[in-house]
A = this chain, B = another copy of it.
Amino acid sequence: MQTQPTLPLRGLVAATHTPFHADGSLNLDIVERQASHLIENGVRVAFIGGSTGESHSLTVEERRLLAQRWFEATRGGPLAVIVHVGSNCLADARALAAQAEQCGALAIAALSPSYFRPRDLDILTSCCASIAGAAPRTPFYFYDIPSLTGVNLSMPQFLAQAGDRIPTLAGIKFTNSDLMSYQLCLSAAGGRFDIPYGSDEWVLAALALGAKGAVGSTYNFAAPVYHQLLDAFEKGDIETARARQMRSVQLVRLLAGYGYMGAAKAVMGMIGVDVGPARLPNRSLTPPEIAQLRRELEQLGFFDWVRR
Give chain A's interface residues, CB within 8 Å of chain B. Answer: 51, 54, 56-60, 62, 88-92, 112-119, 123-124, 126-127, 130, 148-150, 177-180, 183-184, 187, 199, 201-202, 204-210, 236, 238, 241-242, 245-246, 249, 252-253, 259, 261, 279-283
B205 x A280 contact (CB < 8 A) = no
- On chain B, the residues within 8 Å of A207 by CB distance are 208
Given contacts A202-B179, A209-B204, A209-B205, contact A281 B123 (CB under 8 A): yes
- On chain B, the residues within 8 Å of A149 by CB distance are 115
Checking B54, B127, B202, B208 against A281 with a beta-carbon cut-off of 8 angstroms, the contacting residue is B127
A202 x B187 contact (CB < 8 A) = no
Closest residue of chain B to A278 (Cβ to Cβ) is B116
A148 and B58 CA atoms in complex are apart in Å by: 21
Closest residue of chain B to A202 (Cβ to Cβ) is B179
* 10 A-B pairs whose Cβ atoms sit less than 8 Å apart in the complex: A57-B88, A116-B261, A119-B259, A179-B199, A179-B201, A179-B202, A183-B246, A183-B249, A205-B208, A208-B208
A59 x B204 contact (CB < 8 A) = no
B127 x A90 contact (CB < 8 A) = no
Given contacts A59-B89, A204-B208, A205-B205, contact A280 B187 (CB under 8 A): no
Closest residue of chain B to A145 (Cβ to Cβ) is B115
CB distance from A60 to the nearest CB of B (A): 7
B59 x A183 contact (CB < 8 A) = no
Closest residue of chain B to A111 (Cβ to Cβ) is B115
B148 x A115 contact (CB < 8 A) = yes
Q: Which 7 A-B pairs have the closest CB atoms?
A: A205-B205, A208-B208, A56-B88, A179-B202, A56-B115, A177-B177, A236-B236
CB distance from A199 to the nearest CB of B (A): 8
B245 x A183 contact (CB < 8 A) = yes
A180 x B201 contact (CB < 8 A) = yes
Given contacts A280-B126, A280-B127, contact A59 B60 (CB under 8 A): yes
Most B CB contacts (10 A, CB to CB) among A117, A127, A180, A241 go to: A180
A184 x B249 contact (CB < 8 A) = yes
